Amino acid sequence: MKKLQRILPVLFSLIIISFVPCFGQNSYRDTWQKPEAIMDTIGVKQGMVIGEAGAGEGYFTFWLSKRVGEKGKIYTNDIKESVLHQIKKRCEREGINNITTILGKQNDPFFPEGELDMVVMMLAFHEFKNPVKWLENVKASLNPEAPLVIIERDPEKTGSGWGHFMKKDEILETVKKANFELVRIETFLAKDTIFIFRLKTSEM
């Protein structure tokens, strides 16, 4: 019994240690999501103003916030007020001042007009009910040459039975309907693929 009493605190500590990283920027997800590599690839720099759509609880939001720095700004959007509340609370706890949450609608992110140097969607685009309409509504928020970045789970890497993410051809065809053109595709991630678009010159 005494031996068990000595072991239990150690076991409890190990359990806590194993779970704590999941809530921080050193989580297990970081090892395969590679947020730093994504930001390098898509060109996130200090001072940029970025709109993140479908941010959820803010996994990528806080990576973006750190990269753009005090002179930059992140407008983080979702249609669920509860997840935006969690982002706000974390900002308060950690003294983060460069994140503004925006409650959007299914077809409109409500990003500020003409301010964004980039729009990013992390594992969110497949959830949009009317993605073409949403893309039409985001155009007014983009600065000239601002990229539109879609990061989606790739069924060819994870198997067709994993989730309900969009296939490559579906993404390309959908975005094309809103008059965006493909700049390039990045495939270095283990589970996801990165699509980088921009508005066609005729709309700039």
Is residue 68 assigned to a domain? yes
pLDDT for 58 equals 95
Q: What is the pLDDT of residue 156?
A: 86
Whole-angstrom Cα distance, residue 131 to residue 159? 24
Q: Which residue has the higher pLDDT, 17 or 96?
A: 96
Question: With 60 as the cut, is the pLDDT of residue 26 above it?
Answer: no
- In 72-146, beta strands by DSSP E: 73-78, 99-103, 118-122
- Quick check: 116 and 50 in contact, CB under 8 A? yes
* Per-residue confidence (pLDDT) for residue 160, from 0 to 100: 60
Lowest mean pLDDT among 1-15, 21-35, 52-66: 1-15
Question: Is 94 part of a structural domain of the chain?
Answer: yes
pLDDT recorded at residue 6: 52
- Is residue 71 situated within a structural domain? yes
Strands (E), the chain: 49-53, 73-78, 99-103, 118-122, 148-153, 180-186, 192-199
Q: Assess if residue 157 is contained within a domain.
A: yes
> Which CATH number characterizes residue 82's domain?
3.40.50.150
Single pTM value for the model: 0.84
State how many domains the chain has: 1
